[in-house]
Structure 1
Amino acid sequence: MDRKTYKKKSKGRKLRKRFLIILLPLLLVGFIAIGYSVSLYVKAQDVANESYEEVQNSDKRDEVVDPNVDHVSILFLGVDESDKRKNASGFEGGASRSDAMILATLNNDDKSVKLTSIPRDTLAYIPEVGIEDKINHAHAFGGPKASMETVEGLLDVPVDYYVRMNFYAFIDVVEALNGVEVEVPFDMEEMNSDDSTNAISLKEGRQLLNGEEALAFARSRSYDSDVARGGRQLEVMEAILDRSTSVGSISKYSDVIEAIGNNMKTNMKFEDMRSFISYATNSDLKVDMQTLEGEAVTYNGIYYYEAYEEELANLRADLQEHLGMSDPNGTPEAEGSQHPAVENTEEPEW
């Protein structure tokens, strides 16, 4: 077994702005729902209704949660869809893999939020197919429900809601805002949305990116790492947020809402989304961001990211407490954690 230990990084930063970044699809809808105009309110409601996709309630819940009064969790899935990815070896004609996965837990008593980033290559048991594999493959095997069940097994907490955003929302939203400004850390040659090689050329430095360039910037992982890639994705979302909240962009909200709606699916209804406005408008909002810590491993010649056992146990206990769950007197290991033969699914290095 080849092992390379990742340097542990503290992610416990209280970042109100980062919370807004992650919840951009919801908060733009909720933000418009509060004011500006009746027409935008109706459009936001229509978008929410069209994006709704029912999913069975979590087996870890005895009753259906009410986000107005209960502590809840939301799984954010970023998917990178194209014909090439959909038809990759082992996934022909199936759903796409998730390229970004963040679990948000929201405590309604103190209006605090914990954002847990789960690396896309994390080794996890996938109930949908009964094997251990990279956690981002769960979505390809069974869509959002399979991803939710896999995260529930890994972190031992209920996943109440999901929000799935196609990364091509980056293109549509950025174009609606006439571009976003980011800091390009080095020269890049990347594929475009049609996967044409070296179609996007970016030079080092701060600059205004169009939609295609923003997508290439956000999804590149050829030059550094998945951790750095996640940072670029957050930077694009932050730039989108900054641009969308500027006075000059208010007139473009209709286009932004439409762009989000065309690329979002969720099991939240419009009234559920509106309930989260109380978090965003709370001046005492506390946000902690953390990453599932682990190390690189190789099984059967395939690279995985494996969570440290002690860190995983501590993370489970922390999230359970945040959701107000009773202490289970020792968190049990997640199902399938004894490393049965993992699925030897090759994955292209996009």
Structure 2
Amino acid sequence: MTINRHKLMKQKRHRRKKVWKFIGVPLLVLLLATTSYGAYLYYVAKDTLGAASKDNELSEREKSDKRSDKVNPKNDNISILFMGVDDSDSREYGTATRTDALILATFNENQKTVKLVSIPRDSYVHFPFNNDYDKINHAHVFGGVEGTVQTVEELFDIPVDYYVKLNFNAFIDMVEALGGIEVDVPITFSEQDSKDRKNAIRLKKGLQTLTGEEALALARTRKIDNDIERGKRQQLVLEAIIKKAISVGSVTKYGNLIEAVGTNMKTNMTFEEMLSFHDYATAGSNFSIQSLQLEGEDDYINRVYYYKLKDESVQSLKQELKTHLEVNSKSDPSHVAQPLDDNTDLPDEKQS
């Protein structure tokens, strides 16, 4: 009996950790039902999160070109592209910025399953909006949200139905709204802060409570090793956020948490569409999330680093995502990114 209880508790904790990979926005909506002042929070969320869709950067597009009909997340399999951007003044390139994180999520309504693909920021891909080849994090610089969505749609040959764009302020404000998070920092390091002040954040290895700025520094630093280890640190931070968010002591902070996300977020999802994800979280043991990896190899061309995706990995993930969404479309082989050679000329503004 004790063993079974321990197993059940372990499975429950494991499911909680998985929920945050759901990327937060639907989760915050789900939290409303768990509080004694859920009705009040519902209207706060409706006003705050609903406002995020008013500045929709895909307002000219009713649906993906790869769809024959507009989808409804309540009834249909759908996909969401989550975009993390640093839109501070010191990092602006005209009116757009690079994406610091790209995560594609596909949702199967009948199975109540989610598949997540993290797309390395330096992945060398084709840009359909200007017929160029470049790092995927530059798609937002030159094509905005629409260009980034088109690029991901072409890469995997599937429809991207929705996008959610969050900036660094959202991340910082979320941690601050929770009163900080406890993290076992895996390495001692120094990193710039959100204002790009060099070595402004200094953290030592070990268990400690992090502020919003410190949590962001831990999640974004990558010069000390590589993007693989960076991903592991981001997982540590995100798990710490969800652990704090579901604690009893954080109930009274949900209003601030919703505001922190909503005021720093843009999306083409309506509040009613966000509510549709309630079915996934209430599916119990039937709900599952799987993280998928894009394989590739490091390379340098003209002293510029990029991540060359392995074609077999792209093709394998492409088919898996199509099957999960239950869609069929034909890919154009002419759009598969071609290898760069040593004579490739990349302008200075693209070499990051």
**Structure 2 length as normaliser, TM-score?**
0.88
Partner of 2:31: 31
- Is the alpha carbon distance of 1:44 and 1:334 closer, same or farther for their aligned partners in structure 2, counting shifts above 3 Å? farther
Shift of 1:34: 7.0
Partner of 1:244: 245
SS at match of 2:21: helix
Partner of 2:299: 297
- Counting only pairs closer than 5 Å after superposition, residues 122-161 of structure 1 correspond to structure 2 as 122-161=123-162
Letter in 1 for 2:291: M
Q: Distance in 2 between matches of 1:24 and 1:129?
A: 33
Q: Distance in 2 between matches of 1:109 and 1:344?
A: 47
Is the Cα–Cα contact under 8 Å of residues 131 and 336 in structure 1 kept in the other structure? Answer: no
- Counting only pairs closer than 5 Å after superposition, residues 16-165 of structure 1 correspond to structure 2 as 17-32=17-32, 36-52=37-53, 53-54=55-56, 55=58, 56=61, 57-86=63-92, 91=93, 93-165=94-166
Q: Distance in 1 between matches of 2:345 and 2:114?
A: 34
Is the Cα–Cα contact under 8 Å of residues 19 and 27 in structure 2 kept in the other structure? Answer: no
- Is the alpha carbon distance of 1:279 and 1:239 closer, same or farther for their aligned partners in structure 2, counting shifts above 3 Å? same
Q: Distance in 2 between matches of 1:342 and 1:132?
A: 11
Shift of 1:84: 2.0
Could you tell me the percent identity over the aligned residues? 47
Partner of 1:187: 188
**Structure 1 length as normaliser, TM-score?**
0.88
SS at match of 1:96: coil
- Is the alpha carbon distance of 1:218 and 1:348 closer, same or farther for their aligned partners in structure 2, counting shifts above 3 Å? farther
Q: Distance in 2 between matches of 1:130 and 1:19?
A: 37
Partner of 1:3: none
**Is the deviation greater in 113-122 or in 75-84?**
75-84
Shift of 1:48: 1.8
Partner of 1:8: none
Q: Distance in 2 between matches of 1:234 and 1:28?
A: 18
Q: Which runs of 4+ in 1 moved over 3 A?
A: 33-36, 338-349
Is the Cα–Cα contact under 8 Å of residues 83 and 164 in structure 2 kept in the other structure? Answer: yes
Is the Cα–Cα contact under 8 Å of residues 171 and 214 in structure 1 kept in the other structure? Answer: yes
Letter in 1 for 2:335: E
Q: Quick one: higher RCO (CA 8 Å, sep 6+), 1 or 2? A: 1
- Is the alpha carbon distance of 1:241 and 1:327 closer, same or farther for their aligned partners in structure 2, counting shifts above 3 Å? same
The match for 1:344 among 336, 342, 347 is: 347
TM-superposition CA deviations, 1:269-317 (whole Å, max 9, x none)? 0111111111112111121101111111233432111111111111111
SS at match of 1:206: strand
Q: Distance in 2 between matches of 1:295 and 1:285?
A: 33
Partner of 2:326: 324
Between the two proteins, the alignment pairs up a number of residues equal to: 329
Partner of 2:7: none
Partner of 2:316: 314
Letter in 1 for 2:325: L
User: What are structure 2's unaligned runs of at least 5 residues?
Assistant: 1-13
Q: Distance in 2 between matches of 1:68 and 1:45?
A: 18
SS at match of 1:279: helix
TM-superposition CA deviations, 1:296-342 (whole Å, max 9, x none)? 123343211111111111111111111101375xx543625335857
Partner of 1:204: 205
Is the Cα–Cα contact under 8 Å of residues 17 and 242 in structure 2 kept in the other structure? Answer: no
SS at match of 1:158: coil
Shift of 1:348: 7.1
Shift of 1:23: 2.1
